[in-house]
Amino acid sequence: MLLTQGSSTVDDMTDHDHGKGQAGHGNAGHGNAGHWLPDGMNDLLELDAEVLHGYWTAALDWVRDAAAPLSPARLLDLGAGTGTGALGLAERFPAATVTAVDVEHDALERLRGKAKERGLADRVHAVEADLDATWPDLGPLDLTWASMSLHHLADPGAALREALAITRPGGLIAVAEFPEPLRFLPDDLGTGLPGFEDRVLGPVNAAHVEVMPTLGSAWAPRLAEAGWNVTAERAFPIDLDRPAHPDAGRYAQLWFARLSHGFADRIEPGDRATLAALLDERGPHSLLHRADLHIRGTRIVTLARRD
Ligand SMILES: C[S@@+](CC[C@H](N)C(=O)[O-])C[C@H]1O[C@@H](n2cnc3c(N)ncnc32)[C@H](O)[C@@H]1O
């Protein structure tokens, strides 16, 4: 089985906050956190949807089942990127319209292209807007999906309050985030110094948290603080050992390319050399062709209601 799942209600939620972020403020280093995106992010998002298809299906099905009693007619994908969530929800709610909002023009162009290909262009509307600024008119809403986008915002608390204000009583929000970055590699790469991924992820993740202070934090308390009634939270473990998907290597390649994007100076020289070898597409250690990839991690979806 490629994907295993665990489930919990709000009553038995564990605390996923690793103390990395503070709610609702701060943009250390790069000005607006939302505009810090590594090169190739849109490709990475599309590969995420492909390679982690099992996760996406399970998460969106779970949200569909929770929202079905509402018969939601108006949906928002907040920070929609290339549209995996917006399109997946439009398919699951065939009578609904979905507004997909993002600040990135190119991501929305990809989303529009896919909506057209999948016959959804009349129900999925892409809106280019900065959700850290004044929001366009998006309400009233029945269901909002916010996947891996809130931690990019300068003030996610303000965005959660704004979403609440334009949601109908009884309407829902589903926030998908992750407590830790995904892992891709075995501990021992045969370099003579095991633990490469642990060593590089520490400082690189710390650098990301400087730019995006809410990255890896717990979202249930943030939702509650913004006035939402948190009703459930579910962890979706991802465990793809030697993934069969033909693009798994390319996904790993792009993921590690992020590590060298602006933060290579935080990595020890020996590990920098290992990273370069992993990223060398024609070399013997290339991530594109490795037989030992093991993609693992957890995505957490938190569901909350406007009472
Ligand atoms: C990691 S991606 C996630 C995309 C998509 N939700 C998914 O899960 O595949 C984060 C998205 O948030 C968008 N974003 C970041 N800051 C934003 C802002 N201030 N306003 C609107 N969108 C923003 C980015 O452009 C990017 O598409």
Q: pLDDT (tens digit, 9 = 90+) per residue, 255-273?
A: 998 777 777 788 889 999 9
Q: Which atom of ligand 1 is nearest to the CA of 145?
A: 6
The stretch 62-75 carries a mean pLDDT of 98
- Which residue, by CA, sits nearest to atom 17 of ligand 1? 34
Q: Which atom of ligand 1 is nearest to the CA of 104?
A: 25
The stretch 85-90 carries a mean pLDDT of 98
CB-based contact 45:264 (threshold 8 Å): no
The stretch 196-200 carries a mean pLDDT of 93
Write out pLDDT tens, residues 36-53.
Answer: 445 688 999 999 999 999
Q: Which atom of ligand 1 is nearest to the CA of 146?
A: 6
Longest dimension (CA), the chain: 59
pLDDT over threshold 50, residue 9: no
CB of 153 shorter than 6 A to ligand 1: yes
The stretch 163-175 carries a mean pLDDT of 98
3-state secondary structure of 121: coil
CB of 34 shorter than 6 A to ligand 1: yes
pLDDT over threshold 80, residue 199: yes
Q: Which atom of ligand 1 is nearest to the CA of 33?
A: 16
Q: How far apart are CA 222 and CA 55, in angstroms?
A: 24
- Which residue, by CA, sits nearest to atom 15 of ligand 1? 34
Structure confidence at residue 39 (pLDDT):
60
Percent of the chain with pLDDT over 90: 77
Structure confidence at residue 35 (pLDDT):
40
pLDDT over threshold 70, residue 120: yes
Q: Give buried/exposed letters for 115-150 (b at 16+ CB in 10 A, else e).
A: beeeebeebbebbeebbbeebeebbebbbbbbbbbb
Ligand 1 pocket test target in 37, 124, 149, 300 with most atoms within 8 Å of CB: 149
The stretch 214-239 carries a mean pLDDT of 97
The stretch 124-152 carries a mean pLDDT of 97
- Which residue, by CA, sits nearest to atom 25 of ligand 1? 104
pTM over 0.75: yes
- Which residue, by CA, sits nearest to atom 1 of ligand 1? 148
Give 8's pLDDT tier (boundaries 50, 70, 90): very low
